[in-house]
Structure 1
Amino acid sequence: MNNLMVSVVVPIYKVEKYIHRCINSLINQSYKQLEIILVNDGSPDNCGEIVDEYARKDERIKALHKQNGGLSDARNYGMKYVTGGYTIFVDSDDWLEEKMIEELVRCSHELKADLVQSAFYYSYEDALLFDNRNYSITSDPLIMNNKEAMLELVKNEKVKNFAWGKLYKTEMIKDLSFKKGVLFEDVFWAHKVIKRVNKLVLIQKPLYHYFQRSDSIVSTYSLRNLDMIEGLKERLQFIEMHYPELLNESYKQLLKSHLIHYNLLLVNRKKDKRGEKRREIRRYIEDHDTHFQQAVKTDEELKKQLTLFLTHPFIHLLFLGWKKGLRLMKFSPIPKGLEVVDVRSSKEDVIND
């Protein structure tokens, strides 16, 4: 294994519109010791031909083709061909800043980090947004030990559950497969990685572009989205076994996810016609009320939401609607959100840059 080589694994499926931008950002990286593994996951469009063409032009590129098996299966397949000392995952509709890999590798060497994550942009077709609630572009990198990194992962604020945007030592993840057949596969995987990390470094400068497609979660919502809850439940068991001091924080995140998905199921009642999934969520919250009450003891807002939901879910929904109305009428302060760092004049700018 070449310790200086960075292997970039890119699962590809139905992204013909975006794939050039992604691959071009990889081959134009300032760090040249790359092994770019493009996994065509049975894409029905022209992605297969596109990756073959790139492989013919750049010897660093491996174009792999397999039957469609989903994102997890494609990542697992790509990992079989990794020979670099480091691994990075990139989603095929996203792209990197030119010096991203160089900066992550340098940071790993200088600070002897097992894992390096950079901040990122939420990249829309007409705007570029940065999360200044959790990152500060001008600040030094944050250095975390194992317990600090796991806490931040559970909170999902600074350290994200996403597999992408991070530089991993390959030996640390080589035997950790992604769970197949689920959405939000990273939630089932990330905590197992962090368990092996002695030092995590967070570069607060945004170096990764996380592309936001125009379809909203409400319009594309399906029962498969409930895999998020199952992933958090699985992680909860892991936390209980290895990090019991983080149990309350883990229950908080699980409660938030239950409340969000209950309301999404209400909005999409046709996808849960008999209300079975809503009853399942309500029953779980009621059955674990003691744990949730303990978890939200110091969070007044979430405590209030839990009380209202247990009284009746519709009261909780009315409360959220009322709060949103107050914000729109400016009677209530608008929560601090994402900073707009660039506004694009046309959709073509983001597709072709």
Structure 2
Amino acid sequence: MLPLISVVVPVYNVEKYLTQCVESLVAQSYKNIEILLIDDGSRDGSGMLCDQFAKKYSNVAAYHKNNTGLGLTRNYGLERIKGDYVTFVDSDDYLAPDAVQQLVDGLKHGENDTVIGGFTKITDKGEKIYVESYPKEDFNDEECYSKVFCKMLGSSPKEHDSIKASVWNVLYSTSLIKRNHISFVSERQYISEDIVWDSDYFKYSTNTEIIDSTSYYYRSNPTSLSKTYRPDRFEKCVVFFEYMTNKMVYTKICDEARLRLTKNLFINVRSCFALEKGRSFHEIKQSIRKICSNLVLQEAIKAYPVSQLGISQKVFIHMVKNKCVTILAVLSKYGLLE
């Protein structure tokens, strides 16, 4: 018997994209799916669209709730799913018709409890930016945590070998989730709620398959939280870094996890600088000086094998370490850190 696949779609002010998203789900070649649209207190027409889709399609259900953010909205959906496996779709993204089928094929008739695919990144208008594809691999028992999840924390010092820590285009075992009481934290508390979820989930996965699918279309939305300036972004990145490094302390991957989390922190610092671009030069300098003076960041740099990084990364970290504020501010202002 074909497994029932639950698709949880948190919805918040995405009237512009929602129809394409839902229509792509309804058009999946794999038909044994249920689609849960969770309206997280939208203030545009998204909630009304959810109701229209639920009336139009028998396998679509619409729910409405007060706004709590992405992570807790996914939890709301998890409490209501009926499927054997669950996947998550962001409501400004969409899927190729074979996306769910490829994930289901990766289950190998129940041999695997988790399946991970890649993605195609597109612009707001749907133009392809790049494709992230992973080679097909099987992982068993401890490997699911030490070789799969560990790479979700970031890349190693010498190479780009990370796996994107997102919960879309991934198929998760519902029984594993419920048996171990796994749930999302709020992204308002920890900025990368997907990584926290995966850190809890992959402790229990015993058979994970990575497939070479890129049938998930991930939209680079210019209004998303990751693309817009927020004065508290860096502080949230530091809180997350400390939370995850502490969480990894008593695991077998402790040392490697810290290296990967540190490299990811460096990437986040660069992103914070890049998002300063639209502010005045004086404001940029003030913000960059504050970030460069952060003790957690400076200690992370001291403990990291910076010499193993590529030349551009090495130069950037050198400037942060030595608080080359004016140079960094100029690079930020002219968009050279993007």
TM tier relative to shorter chain: 0.7 to 0.9
Give yes or no for contact 1:18–1:93 (8 Å, CA) kept in 2.
yes
> What is residue 290 of structure 1 aligned with on the other side?
302
* 1:240 maps onto 2:249 in alignment: yes
Higher RCO (CA 8 Å, separation ≥ 6 residues): 1
In structure 2, the residue matched to 1:129 is 129
In structure 2, distance between residues paired with 1:149 and 1:7: 23
Q: Note if contact 2:227-2:275 (Cα within 8 Å) is conserved in structure 1.
A: no
| 3-state SS, counterpart of residue 148 of structure 2 | helix
Which 10-residue stretch deviates more, 243-252 or 212-221? Answer: 212-221
Alpha-carbon contact 2:113-2:208 (below 8 Å) kept: yes
| SS of alignment partner, residue 249 of structure 2 | helix
Counterpart for residue 328 of structure 1 = none
Which of 162, 175, 196 is 2:166 aligned to?
162
Unmatched tracts of structure 2, length 5 or more: 156-160
Task: State the match for 1:99 in structure 2.
Answer: 98
| Residues 16 and 45 in structure 1, CA contact (< 8 A), matched pair in contact too | yes
Q: Which amino acid aligns with 1:310?
A: K
Residue in 1 that maps onto 2:49: 50
The residue matched to 1:168 in structure 2 has which SS?
A: strand
CA apart distance, 1:300: 4.6
> CA 1:62–1:286 in 2, change beyond 3 Å: closer, same or farther?
same
Q: CA RMSD in A?
A: 3.3
Instruction: Determine whether 1:209 maps to 2:213.
Output: no
Counterpart of 1:162, as a letter, is: S
Match of 2:316 in 1: 305
What whole-Å deviation, never above 9, does each CA across 1:12-39 have from its counterpart, x for those lacking one? 1111111111111111111111111110
- Contact 1:218–1:268 under 8 Å retained in 2: no
Aligned residues: 317
Name which of 217, 230, 233 aligns with 2:239.
230
Aligned match of 1:351: none
**Cα distance, 1:300–1:36 mapped onto 2, change above 3 Å:** closer
- What TM-score, normalized to structure 2? 0.81
Q: Which of residues 179, 185, 190 is equivalent to 1:179?
A: 185
Contact in 1 for aligned 2:284/2:329 (Cα 8 Å): no
Q: Which moved more, 1:180-189 or 1:275-284?
A: 275-284
**Which one of the candidate residues 325, 329, 335 is aligned to 1:314?**
325
Q: Report the equivalent of 2:229.
A: 221
Matching residue's letter, 1:128: K
Shift in alpha-carbon separation, 1:24–1:223, aligned structure 2, 3 A: same
| Whole-Å separation in 1 of the counterparts to 2:71 and 2:105 | 29
The yes-or-no answer on 1:143 pairing with 2:152 is no
Structure-2 separation of matches of 1:271 and 1:185: 33
Q: Is 1:198 paired with 2:206?
A: yes
More helix by share: 1
The residue identity in structure 1 corresponding to 2:201 is V
Alpha carbons 1:218, 1:267 under 8 Å: kept: no
| Residues 29 and 101 in structure 1, CA contact (< 8 A), matched pair in contact too | yes
Alignment of 1:254 onto 2:265: yes
Q: Which moved more, 1:248-257 or 1:48-57?
A: 248-257
